[in-house]
Structure formats: structure tokens, C-alpha cells
Amino acid sequence: MPDQHQLEPLQEMLTNRFHLAKLVGFSSHSDRISRESVLGSAGKIEQFLETLSHNLRPHWESNKKELLDLKRQENPRATSLYPWDTTYLMTLARSRDADTEASQYMSYFPLGACMDGLSRLFESIYDVHFVIEDASDEDLWAADVYKLSVRSAEDEVLGLIYCDLYQRPDKSSPDCHFSIQGGRRLPDGSYQIPKVVLSLNYEPPQSGVPCLMNFDQIDNLFHEMGHAMHSMLGRTRYQHVTGRSLSRLIILICIFVCLS
């Protein structure tokens, strides 16, 4: 049975959210909070999720059978999967197959090819591309950091991404994206371009062999680049609402498109 001490405040909160939404002219709390999101309404968000669910269902059915077979290896009487099973079974399946699979495909995914693929992907979706820029020693904090500009089809610089992708003994930061300078509209009408850092921890090239990527590393690269491109493509009046300071929906959509 639900804990009434938790259930009652939750019901009260949901009721108050609904009344507040109605008070300011919305049909629901979901419509009110999604007003300024990318999709603009709860109905469009629901449509997006339904489309996503429909497109992924054939893949899920195939994966579900594999996970159920894996579960039956530990429990022969198992007949179904539960929500709490999937994370454990997926981790088990990936750890079981990782060594064999990685050796078969990693040579096709050097880091440089993945970055080039991202540039082509963003060009096809947003009509923007990456250009490696010259940088002075004062502009960079390590020799293996490089500076990318994100440019429009008209070659306008939309923003800068400092790519710090390799492990170093003195580098302690986890995989992340963070801003150096937020984008904002200046008083003279021009735009202050965003500048961000893409900080990852891949093995540096050794003896002429490039950094080769496994699927988890590729997944993480695309994820963090999704955050960086959110900053690059946004055009906001104030820099405190640029990039990840806004709704997360565009970030998730960007990441989903990249991984599809």
C-alpha cells in the first residue's frame, strides 16, 4: 500500500499545479511548463514520444527476447521481464559481449572519423559544419587541445568548441561539457558567440595508432557534443539562459537524433 504521508502531499501538489495552470489559461500543468519548450505543448511532446515508441518497438521486441533468454539462464522459470530487470540484464549482456564485439568493430571508429561524422551529421540536419581553427599557446591549456569553430552555410562563426579529448596525468575532470562564455545579444545589436569546452578522457594516440572508440565511448561523445551544440545553435538575449540553462528537451532531442 502507498505511504499516506507521501501520497497526500503528492496529490495536493498535483492538484495545486492543475489549478495554477487553469488560473493562467492553460488546460493542464504539462501545457503550462512546455509552453516555451522546443515542441511547445504537451500534445506535441506526447506525439513525439509516441512516434519514438512506435519506431523503437521492433528493436525493443528483439532486445526483450534476448534479455529474457539471459534472465532464464539464472532463473529457468522466468516468463517475463520487469522494469527492475532491464538495467541489470543489459549491463550483464554488455559486459559479456564487450570484449568480443569491441575487437571486431573498434578499428572502424577512430576518434577523428567520429568527429568528422558528427560534422557531417550536423551539416545534414542544421546546415552547420566544423572547422579546425589556428590557436596560440595562450589560447590553449595543453598541447593536445584543439579549437573548433561551428560555422553556418554562409561561413559565419556561430561559436567555438575547445576539444580536450585525451587523458593527461594532471587532468582530473570527468567527461563533461561546460561554458567559458555564454552567447548573448550585445547593446550594439551584434551577438557574443558562445565558447564551450568538450572535456573527455580517451586514450591518446600512440606509436601512430589513433584513438579507437568502443560503443560506450561513441555514445558518450555524441551525448556531450549534443550539449555543446545546444550552446552553439541557441541565440538568446541573455547569457544566463543560454545552452543548458534552458529546457533540456532540445538537448535530449539532439542526442536522440545523433544516436538514431
Average confidence (pLDDT) over 136-158: 89
Residues facing 148 on adjacent strands: 132, 161
How far CA 75 is from CA of 72, 113, 216, in Å, comes to 5, 43, 28
Of the listed ranges 17-21, 123-127, 227-231, the least confidently predicted one is: 227-231
Beta-carbon contacts of 157 under 8 Å, excluding residues fewer than 6 positions away, are: 149, 150, 151, 193
Residue 212 DSSP code = B
Q: State the pLDDT at residue 39.
A: 80
Q: Pick 16 or 227 by higher pLDDT.
A: 16
Q: Pick 44 or 250 by higher pLDDT.
A: 44
pLDDT digits (tens, 9 = 90+) for 153-196: 898 999 999 999 998 888 876 788 888 888 888 999 888 989 99
pLDDT digits (tens, 9 = 90+) for 96-139: 766 566 677 788 889 889 999 999 999 999 999 999 888 888 88
CB-count exposure of residue 148 (10 Å: 0-12, 13-18, 19+): buried
Extract the runs of DSSP E, i.e. beta strands, from the chain: 128-133, 146-152, 157-166, 176-181, 184-185, 191-192, 195-202
Q: State the pLDDT at residue 100.
A: 60
Average confidence (pLDDT) over 42-53: 90
- Beta-strand pair 184-185/146-152: unpaired
* Chain center to CA of 189: 31
Q: State the pLDDT at residue 174.
A: 79
pTM, rounded to two decimals: 0.61
Confidence category of residue 20, pLDDT binned at 50, 70, 90: very high
- For residue 61, indicate whether it is catalytic: no
Q: Which of 36, 50, 123, 224 is catalytic?
A: 224
The pLDDT of residue 252 is above 70? no
Extract the runs of DSSP E, i.e. beta strands, from 104-156: 128-133, 146-152
